[in-house]
Amino acid sequence: MRNARGRQTEVRWLIGRFRRLRLTETEQAQLYNSQKLYLEWRYSYRESRTGLRVPIKRIFFHEDPLIPRRDVRLEEEFNRPTPPTRKLSLSKGTLALDVARNASTVRYRELYGFTNGDPRSVYQISLGRGVELVVFTLPPEKRLPLRAYHSAMIYKNGVPIGYFEGLSLFERMESGFNLYYTFRDGETAWLYARILAVMKHLTGVTAFTLDPYQIGFDNEEGIESGAFWFYRKLGFRSMSGEIQKLTKNEEEKIANRKNYRTPATTLRKLAAAPMILELDDSKKGDWDHFQLRQMGFAVQRLMSEEYGGDAERMRQSATGTIAATLGMDTYIEAKALQEFGLVLLLVRGVNDWDSADKDLLKRIIQAKGSSEETRYLRLMQKHARLRAAIIKLGSA
C-alpha cells in the first residue's frame, strides 16, 4: 500500500479503492471490516483533549457561584421559551460533525449519530452561560427502523464537554447523557435540565427514559457517582414497582438518619430497571412495561412461523401488504415501507382502520424518509391508535 498510494495516505487510498467497487455501502463496510485492519492515528494538538475547541464570539465568565442541583427545577426549565436555534450551512455542518468525531475518538468513544450524522441537518442552540448545543440528525438511509434519532455535542466556551443521545418513539425518548470526566463537577443538573427542555421543544416528547446502565447497572462508575439519586432528585422514577418501594424506603432513611448514604449494594438494586420522567400525567405508566426488543422477538417468531425463516420473503410480503392497504407506491417508497412494514405485519386489523387513521399512517411512513425526521415524530405523536398498538406489542 505504501508503494501504491502515491501522494495519498494509505487509509485514504484504500478507502478510495473500496468506494470504486460495485457494491452497496453496507457491502463495502462488511468487506472492509472483514480485513480486520489496525490503524494508527497521530493527531495534532488542536485535535487533542487539551487543544480541541471551536471558535466563539464571547467567553462566559462565572462571576457568581455555580448553580447547584438543589436550585434546579425541571418544571421551570420546561416552561422557559425555546432558546435561539439556527440551522448551520452544509460546510459548517460538516465541520461540526468532524469536531464531534474527533472529540469522541480521542476518548476511545463512538456515537452512532456522530459517525453517521447528516451535515445538511445540523442545528446550533444557545443554552446560556457559555453553553452551546449542536444537534445532529441522520440521513434517510442511516435512520433506525422505527425510532427517530437525535444526538448532540455540548460545548462550554467552545470546549467540547460531553454529548447527548435521544431515541424517540411517539412521546417517549430514550435519553443518554454523558459529561467528560473533567467537567462533572460543573453545573451538571442545570445543564441536563436545559438539554431535556430543548429536546422537548424540538421533538414534542413528554417522557424521558434512562437505560439501567446509565444509572449504574453493570456500571460501577454510575454506582460510585450515585447516578440513581442524581436522576431521582430531578423527578425520575423507576419503572419497576418493586424498586419504587425500595426507593421509598431509602428516601425515608435519608430523611431520618443524619449522614446516611445508600450503600453500593442497594444502589445496584435500584439500578436494575429503567427510570422515566413523565411530563403528561394522563399518560403516566403507559410505557412501564414496554421494551423495544419484544417487538424484535415478535418479528422473528413471525418470520420463523409463517415465512420459514426467510427474512427477504418476509420483507417483500410486508412491503406489498402495507402498500396495498395504504395505497402507496412500492417502488418509490420501498425503503420506508420495508422499515415500517415488518412491525405493521404484527398490528392486526390495520386494513379495518378508518380512512383518517390510514391516511395519517401513510404520512408517517412517508415522513420517515423525508428531509427532517422530526416531522415523522410529530406526526407519530398524533396517531393514538398506532401508539396503543405499538405499546401493546412491546409490552407482551
Measured CA distances, 187 to 180, 183, 192, 376 (Å): 13, 9, 9, 33
Question: What pLDDT, on a 0 to 100 scale, did the predictor assign at position 170?
Answer: 97
As a whole number, mean pLDDT of residues 228-241 equals 95
AA identity, residue 60: F
Q: How confident is the model at residue 262 (pLDDT cuts 50, 70, 90)?
A: very high
122 has a pLDDT exceeding 90: yes
Terminal-to-terminal C-alpha distance of the chain: 53
**Do β-strands 172-179 and 207-210 pair in parallel, antiparallel, or remain unpaired?**
parallel
CA distance 299 to 314: 10
**Three-state helix/strand/coil letters over 237-271:** EECCHHHHHHHHHHHHHHHHCCCCCCCHHHHHHHC
- Spatial separation of the C-alpha atoms in residues 342 and 346, rounded to whole Å: 7
* 66 has a pLDDT exceeding 70: yes
Q: Nearest CA to 143 among 299, 295, 340?
A: 340
pLDDT given for residue 184 in this prediction: 87
Q: What is d(CA 320, CA 313) in angstroms, rounded to the nearest whole number?
A: 11
- Between 2-16, 287-301, 331-345, the lowest mean confidence (pLDDT) is in 331-345
pLDDT band at 330 (very low <50, low <70, confident <90, very high): low
Domains along the chain with CATH numbers: 1-40 (no CATH), 47-58+65-211+274-283 (3.40.630), 292-394 (no CATH)
In one letter, which amino acid is 45? Answer: Y
**Alpha carbon 376 to chain centroid, angstroms:** 15
Of 290, 89, 74, the C-alpha closest to 190 is 74
Please give the single-letter amino acid code of residue 328. M
Q: Which amino acid is at 138?
A: L
pLDDT tens profile 152-175:
999 999 999 999 999 999 999 999
**Mean pLDDT for the stretch of residues 327-352:** 79
Is 339 or 350 the better-scoring residue by pLDDT?
350
Predicted local distance difference test score (pLDDT) of residue 329: 76
Of 29-38, 278-287, 289-298, 315-324, which gets the smallest average pLDDT?
Answer: 315-324
Q: Confidence class of residue 278 from pLDDT cuts 50, 70 and 90?
A: very high
Banded model confidence at residue 333, pLDDT cuts 50, 70, 90 = low
**Grid-cell match 492515528, residue found:** 41
Write down the pLDDT at residue 343: 85
Name the least confident of 103-107, 278-282, 293-297, 317-321.
317-321
* Beta strands, E only, the chain: 85-87, 122-128, 131-136, 148-156, 159-169, 172-179, 207-210, 237-238, 275-278
Q: How confident is the model at residue 344 (pLDDT cuts 50, 70, 90)?
A: confident
| The pLDDT value given to residue 266 | 97
CB 380 within 8 A of CB 392: no
Residue 212 has pLDDT above 80, yes or no: yes
Q: In what order do the strands lie in the sheet with 207-210?
A: 85-87, 122-128, 131-136, 148-156, 159-169, 172-179, 207-210, 275-278, 237-238
- The predicted structure's pLDDT at residue 331: 58
pLDDT in tens, 291-328: 999 999 999 999 999 999 999 999 888 888 888 888 88
pLDDT at 332 over 60: no
Q: How far is CA 248 from CA 237, 270, 274, 282, 299, in A?
A: 10, 11, 16, 23, 38
Q: What's the average model confidence in pLDDT over 320-338?
A: 77
| Residue 149: pLDDT band with limits 50, 70, 90 | very high
Rounded average pLDDT over 34-40: 91
Question: What does pLDDT average to over the chain?
Answer: 93
pTM above 0.95, yes or no: no
| pLDDT band at 188; cut points 50, 70, 90 | very high
Structure confidence at residue 370 as a pLDDT band (50, 70, 90)? confident
- Going by the DSSP 8-state scheme, the letter that residue 147 receives in this structure is S
d(CA 194, CA 204): 15
> Residue 272 and residue 269: Cα distance in Å, rounded?
5
Highest mean pLDDT among 83-87, 241-245, 292-296: 241-245
Looking at residue 390, its pLDDT comes to 95
